Homo-oligomer: A and B are copies of this chain.
């Protein structure tokens, strides 16, 4: 059994780095707050006797030796970055839970057969730089390191510049640390476990993701003197796209969602009809065929709206992550650990993307979910109980012990 109070203490101690008045965390990847938590994490890893390395994209790896160093390490961990108005648990539970596993094994003097490597992946959230789960995507070869280093945030700062500015461009090439498998603990970020009174979600699959950048070019004109029929209003166009996406996602539901999270009017003014808007779209489904249908229906709807309103709408697919099907043996290992420990559980699909989804494309991977209050995440009010966090960390530890061998 892990030390529930110590885990809880770590979560709340690190929540001060970027902590907000509403009890959430604002810790955008590679920000000064992110540097603070990274420094804390490195020191904690070193104090736990781990050998710590940082790769060229800033991901932190802490290695605990095993009896058989010819075996590939069991990877565990998650991320410490958050959304602009994020919570204290998303990613953090999985990273500090991994640290707690190491601390517990140290205290109990348990040596494993295979080594264990705990990881803090850079930019899981995808809020400052696209795509999400950026560093693990480069790790599995979906993008080159140089490509990722050149991605820009909204101010034009590149990933490379941001890494340098906090001193976290590591000296190890991406992929230097081989892993044999990866298990990630996370809050569910959805309402199912809580609603069904289950403690553990045994994640068997994950939704695929489509990310688009969009731009609407209408025509700026005077709000008072331009008759309604002559307008080419970029915001009215966006409004139709938002509602069309909502209808399309519902039509393909319950197995589909669609969101417009960013929309910026260029040179806004109260008495000017908006002429240009940049926006993003995020569409998901656990079913690849539904993803294709969402893409097709969206493009058709947007083309019709643009033509009717005589505006130009460009959309660019900037990221496509297919649905994930986790490794059956690891899924079973998670399920067994929950059963052995006496926790109620159910199989579940992840609505969110996770680093484990990327790692699953080149190695066996699996995930452990615990409930979060009202399914709320990506919100400062995100909440989870100490008991559930501890339960998930126990399941993580027992899964690791089963895979790594004692």
Q: Give the interface of A toward B (CB within 8 A).
A: 83-85, 125-127, 130, 132, 188-191, 207, 209, 211, 219-230, 233, 235-236, 238-240, 242-243, 246, 249-250, 253-254, 256-265, 267-275, 280, 282, 284, 350-353, 375-380
A-B contact pairs, 6 of them (CB 8 A): A189-B225, A211-B270, A220-B379, A228-B250, A235-B263, A273-B378
Main secondary structure of the interface of A (DSSP, over half): loop
**B residues in contact with A376, CB < 8 Å:** 219, 221
Q: CA–CA, A280 to B125, complex, Å? A: 31
Which residue, of A126, A223, A350, A353, has the highest number of chain B Cβ atoms within 10 A?
A: A223
Q: Chain B: which residue is nearest A256 at the CB level?
A: B228
Q: Given A263-B268, A273-B259, are A207 and B236 neighbors across the interface (CB < 8 Å)? A: no
With A239-B239, A267-B85 as given contacts, are A351 and B224 in contact (CB-CB < 8 Å)?
yes
Q: Which one of B270, B282, B375, B378 contacts A127 once the chains associate, using CB atoms below 8 Å? A: B270
9 A-B pairs besides A191-B230, A225-B377 with CB distance below 8 A are A219-B379, A220-B379, A224-B282, A224-B350, A224-B351, A224-B352, A227-B257, A259-B273, A261-B274
Across the two chains, which residue of chain B brings its CB closest to A238?
B239
A203 to chain B, nearest CB (A): 12
Q: Is the CB of B261 within 8 A of A378?
A: no
Contacts of A261 in B (CB 8 A): 223, 235, 265, 268-274
Question: Smallest distance from the beta carbon of A230 to chain B beta carbons, Å?
Answer: 7
Chain B minimum-CB-distance residue to A253: B228
Residues of B within 8 A of A132 (CB): 270-271
| CA of A126 to CA of B271, assembled, Å | 8
The answer to whether A127 and B275 touch (CB under 8 A), given A242-B236, A249-B228, is: no
Given known pairs A127-B269, A190-B225, A224-B351, the reply for A246 and B257 (CB within 8 Å) is no
Is there contact, CB below 8 Å, between B223 and A259? yes
| Least Cβ–Cβ distance between A145 and chain B, in angstroms | 22
A226 to B376, CA, bound (A): 8
Question: What residues on B are CB-neighbors of A249 within 8 Å?
Answer: 228
Distance in Å from the Cβ of A26 to the closest Cβ of chain B?
A: 8
Q: Cα distance A48–B384 when bound, in Å?
A: 75
**CB <8 Å contact, A235 and B223:** no
Residue of B nearest to A190 (CB): B225
Residues of B within 8 A of A272 (CB): 83-85, 127, 259, 261, 378-379
Query: Which chain B positions have C-beta within 8 A of A225?
Result: 188-190, 350-352, 375, 377
Complex CA distance for A38 and B126, rounded to whole angstroms: 46
Nearest-CB residue, chain B, relative to A377: B222
Q: State A37–B392 Cα separation when bound (angstroms).
A: 67
